[in-house]
Amino acid sequence: MAAILKHWREAATLILVAKTKATAAPLLSNVTKSECQLEKSLFNYKLLMLKRSRKSTFMPNLYVFPGGTADDADFAADWLDVFKKSCDTDKLFSFLKTGGVGPYMFSRSRAPEFQHIPGELAFRICAIRETFEESGVLLVRDATRKVTPNESDQTLASVSNFSKDELQKWRQRVDKDPKEFLRLCKELKVVPDVWSLYEWSNWLTPLSMSVGKRSGRRYDTAFYICVLDHIPDAVQDNKETVHAQWASPDSLIADHFNEESFIAPPQVYELLRLFNFQDADKLHQFSVERTSKRVNRYFPVQVNCTDGVAILYPGDEWYPENPDFEGEKETMVYNGTVEEASKVCKRRNRHHPIKPENVNPTDCNIVMTDGHVSPITDPSVIQGVIQAKL
């Protein structure tokens, strides 16, 4: 199998951004409650979020970005024929690898039958396929129109304009068999719009998710981001997902902290990163410019404190030099409270699943080494957003 390893599977997720007609507020910290109510949102875009079924074996009942496990079909050699009709594949592969060697899921060795296309392409195909399966949003381009890698610097993502009946027919077929996505592209003469997907982050599920009856449900996931010029129709699949919604980052964070809906920790972290960009065009431009560097892998490491836990991310002062990816070592322990653990560390990049009093749920004060932005975790800003939505 191309994407199943001993301790985890590989997957891809898409942060799908759609522009709205609203005008983004210029400064997050200067927006009052009345202004927020007037504008409805601090952002001029919304994100597609899907609520996972309570029966789901991974992150049940949580809101997540669309995505899922990679399949052998995403690495199929036949994709070369599809892309050769639209572009010079050598230039495409080079374009997708801009910035050098990526994290392990991109750079690791694979069996010969899965080496025809690079992981940088296969995981983008996976993200587009899974987004189509889970929401019905199909990101493709006309295969007869030649595309150059640099063209993505100027254009936003493309959404198909096929009829609802045609999309639903293919959605059902792809859901039953991932290989049908390749057939879809060939028969409808389209190509997955991989040019408009940019690396955003890479998350490896922590060891704490591999205990009990969900043992083994860990994923090494590539997060991509792309921007649309409008909000397309999206409908949940009523299998893995039970609700689809387009919502702004501030609304999602406010609902999460108000306990009106719950979001998985990686999504919370990425939403707080998006607080740096209230304007969709600026977010798109940043994504384009950041391709000069590859993303770092985020593997959460747990520290047991006397009154709770702290989840460490790379760059944190306590983050281990050689993380225990496979559960061979004892869990880290600190003989003090979560609040004390926060005070003794000058460099912090961490999350607190159960927020003790006076401790930020997500606490980050470091500069990213992969050219990325840090999440905005200032309590006054977060509290302002929450209060504005009450």
Give the C-alpha separation, 178 to 317, whole Å. Answer: 42
Amino acid of residue 75: F
In tens, the pLDDT along 333-351 reads: 999 999 999 999 999 999 9
Residue with tokens 């299998």: 239
More confident residue, 237 or 35: 237
- Whether residues 140 and 177 share a domain: the answer is yes
- Whether residues 202 and 306 share a domain: the answer is no
- Residue 376 covered by a domain: no
Look up the pTM and report it: 0.92
* Domain boundary residue, one of 237, 268, 292: 292
Query: Residue 170's pLDDT is what?
Result: 97
- Whether residues 277 and 313 share a domain: the answer is no
Query: Residue 212's pLDDT is what?
Result: 41
Phi, psi of 256 (to 5 degrees): -65, -50
- Whether residues 233 and 166 share a domain: the answer is yes
- Whether residues 250 and 355 share a domain: the answer is no
Residue with tokens 């983008």: 124
Residue with tokens 């993303």: 295
The number of folded domains in the chain is 2
137: CATH: 3.90.79.10
Show the tokens assigned to 117: 């296309």
- Residue 260 covered by a domain: yes
- Whether residues 119 and 266 share a domain: the answer is yes
In tens, the pLDDT along 76-94 reads: 999 999 999 999 999 999 9
Residue with tokens 């959605």: 171
- Whether residues 54 and 194 share a domain: the answer is yes
- Whether residues 26 and 60 share a domain: the answer is yes
In tens, the pLDDT along 109-158 reads: 999 999 999 999 999 999 999 999 999 999 999 998 888 766 655 667 88
Q: Name the helix (H) or strand (E) containing 141.
A: strand 140-142
CA–CA distance from 326 to each of 5, 183, 288 (Å)?
11, 37, 34
* Beta-carbon count within 10 A of 301 CB: 22
Domain of residue 196 covers 9-292
- Residue 384 covered by a domain: no
- CA 28: distance to chain centroid? 23
Tally the residues of the chain.
390
Q: What Rg value do the Cα atoms of the chain yield, rounded?
A: 21
In tens, the pLDDT along 176-233 reads: 999 999 999 999 999 999 999 999 999 999 987 554 444 458 999 999 999 999 999 9
- Whether residues 356 and 224 share a domain: the answer is no
- Whether residues 206 and 315 share a domain: the answer is no
- Whether residues 259 and 322 share a domain: the answer is no
